[in-house]
């Protein structure tokens, strides 16, 4: 999955924000504050259960954010992939 991300991901430059005034980082906070691309499915082996994944790019790395798919959708984890870990492919 990571190897087939479209080149549009290269336009995303963000600094992740993990703290909120409620002390819990949820998808609603991420959605409005971080430029990202929604992934149709999470990369294989990255997460288990009912989750959603979003991808950003910062400092020459792709960062895949994992959130629970139900309720407030709390943040679960972030996984970083550097140049040697992926290949961006242009699609027509």
What string of DSSP letters covers 48-75?
-SSEEEEEEEETTEEEEEEEESSTT-BE
Which residues, at least 6 apart from 86, have a Cβ–Cβ distance to it below 8 Å? 2, 3, 5, 62
Residue corresponding to tokens 């027509």: 92
52-69 residue pLDDT tens = 999 999 888 999 999 999
Beta carbons of 64 and 42 less than 8 angstroms apart: yes
pLDDT at 21 over 60: no
26 to 8, 32, 40, 41, 51: CA distances (angstroms): 25, 11, 19, 19, 13
Average model confidence (pLDDT) for the chain? 78
Mean pLDDT of 77-91: 84
């Amino acid at each position: 999955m990571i190897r087939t991300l479209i080149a549009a991901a290269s336009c995303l430059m963000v600094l992740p924000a993990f703290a909120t005034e409620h002390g819990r980082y949820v998808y609603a906070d991420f959605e409005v504050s971080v430029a990202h691309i929604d992934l149709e499915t999470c990369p294989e082996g990255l997460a288990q259960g009912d989750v959603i994944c979003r991808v950003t790019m910062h400092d020459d790395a792709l960062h895949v954010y994992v959130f629970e798919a139900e309720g407030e959708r709390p943040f679960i984890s972030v996984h970083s992939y550097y140049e040697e870990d992926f290949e961006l492919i242009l699609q027509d």
